[in-house]
């Protein structure tokens, strides 16, 4: 390559560099001279993305607040439902205890009616028949209220329903069987209001032993008869 050609290429390279520098300088001058609020084309896409994000934030915030309120309302409804059930249960229990306490005051009266009937003459006496009728009506009223007598005589002893006041041997009843009912027990619904007072069999009586000295006397009498013979 001749010296002339090398000089021409160097001149062209210098002209290209100067042109690129001039274009960059013009771009900087245009950006600086642009008024406020005017966004360069390269920044328009990023600016629109930020604006959309800012526009979606209130919706997401409202959705989060709505979800929190729904959860709070569900919890409040559950708490209220538990409270309502507890109040209903306590109300029923209070009513049952009050009713049971009131009925328990009448049980001794019924006991006295039954004692009077047990000592009354046979049917045909107007007074005794009247007492039996009143006692029967009294028992019917208690039955309608949910009071039922506890079966005791002849039944197996149950400490949850019976109260043993004594144990006695019995030739007819096995051990643990109730042979006498001193006071009737009653049940109110599923609860035992008053256990029955009973006497329980302790089993068959043991064989009686002969009194002391009885056998010796018989032996002596036999020996005396033998001597006389």
- Give me the pLDDT at residue 39, please: 47
136 is written with which tokens?
């029967």
- CB burial class (10 A; 0-12, 13-18, 19+) of residue 161? middle
- Give me the pLDDT at residue 60, please: 85
Q: What is the pLDDT of residues 6-64, one digit of tens each?
A: 555 555 655 555 555 555 556 556 555 555 544 455 556 665 666 665 556 788 888 88
Residue 92 has pLDDT above 70, yes or no: yes
Angle at 177 between CA 205 and CA 164, to 5 degrees: 95
Which whole-number Å values give the CA distances from 75 to 33, 69, 78, 118, 153, in the listed order?
A: 61, 10, 5, 63, 55
pTM score, whole prediction: 0.54
The CATH classification of domain 148-205, taken from the options 3.30.1490.190, 1.10.150.570, 2.30.22.10, 3.30.360.10: 2.30.22.10
- Give me the pLDDT at residue 30, please: 53
What is the mean predicted confidence (pLDDT) over 158-184?
A: 92
Give the residue extent of every domain in the chain: 88-145, 148-205
- Give me the pLDDT at residue 212, please: 45
- Give me the pLDDT at residue 44, please: 60
pLDDT band per the 50, 70, 90 thresholds, residue 162: very high
Residue 223 has pLDDT above 70, yes or no: no
Q: What share of the chain is helix, strand, coil (3-state, %, to 5)?
A: 60, 15, 25
Q: What is the pLDDT of residues 197-213, one digit of tens each?
A: 999 998 888 876 454 44
pLDDT band per the 50, 70, 90 thresholds, residue 140: very high
């Amino acid at each position: 390559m001749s010296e002339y050609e090398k000089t021409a290429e160097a001149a062209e390279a210098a002209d290209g560099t100067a042109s690129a520098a001039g274009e960059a300088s013009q771009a900087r001058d245009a950006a600086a001279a642009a008024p406020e609020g005017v966004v360069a084309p390269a920044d328009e896409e990023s600016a629109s993305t930020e604006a959309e994000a800012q526009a979606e934030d209130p919706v997401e915030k409202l959705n989060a607040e709505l979800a929190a309120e729904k959860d709070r309302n569900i919890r409040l409804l559950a708490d209220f439902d538990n409270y309502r059930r507890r109040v209903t249960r306590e109300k029923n229990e209070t009513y049952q205890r009050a009713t049971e306490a009131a009925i328990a005051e009448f049980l001794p009266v019924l006991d006295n009616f039954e004692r009077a009937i047990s000592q009354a003459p046979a049917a045909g006496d107007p007074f005794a028949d009247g007492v039996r009728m009143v006692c029967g009506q009294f028992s019917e009223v208690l039955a309608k209220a949910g009071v039922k007598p506890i079966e005791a005589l002849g039944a197996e002893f149950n400490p949850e329903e019976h109260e043993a006041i004594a144990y006695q041997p019995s030739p007819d009843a096995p051990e643990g069987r109730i042979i006498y009912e001193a006071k009737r027990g009653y049940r109110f619904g599923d609860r035992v209001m008053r256990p029955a007072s009973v006497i329980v069999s302790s089993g068959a009586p043991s064989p009686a032993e002969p009194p002391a000295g009885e056998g010796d006397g018989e032996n002596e009498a036999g020996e005396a008869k033998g001597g006389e013979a």
